[in-house]
A = this chain, B = another copy of it.
Amino acid sequence: MTGRRVCSVARALEIVGERWSLLVLREVFLGVRRFDAIGAATGAPRAVLADRLRALVEAGVLVRWEYRDAGARTRHEYRLTGAGRALRPALVALMQWGDRYRPVPAGPPLHIEHAGCGAAVRARLVCDDGHVLDDDGRELRAYPNSAFSVP
């Protein structure tokens, strides 16, 4: 047994597993950074949105950035930190799963490509020797860390 809070997926989901959190992050990735705009794009209730943004800032995934448009008062916007940007592969993986297994008639709403060569980009498993693995997971081997063995 892997235990409860020992699981890394569980620790990640403590931050981004709340309802709306990942949708908020998706909008920030797309450049939507202001409270009302994020609310409109995701549909999250305002109170929940305020709570999620607070939690994401506290978790170090977003920062509240002060800015001022010409002739306007000081406002805030939310920007990704390094930890936030590191969530991109997870978000892309979920996006492509949605595109494939929950498609909409008009096709994928967002297309992502490699700026260098223009080819479509996907989240895949890659080993540190550079081999790109098959999606069926047959080339994969998983070892539990022995420090977590059941006593």
Contact = CB atoms under 8 A, between A and B. Distances in A.
Interface of A: 1-4, 6-17, 19, 22-23, 26-27, 30, 32, 37, 40-43, 60, 83, 85-102, 104, 106-117, 119-133, 135-145, 147-148
Contact of A4 (B42, B108, B126, B139): B42
A2, A94, A102: residue with the most chain B Cβ atoms closer than 10 Å: A94
B8 A95 contact: yes
A88, A108, A147 interface centre (most CB from chain B within 10 Å) = A88
Contact of A41 (B1, B88, B99, B102): B1
A94 to B, nearest CB: 4
A116 B90 contact: no
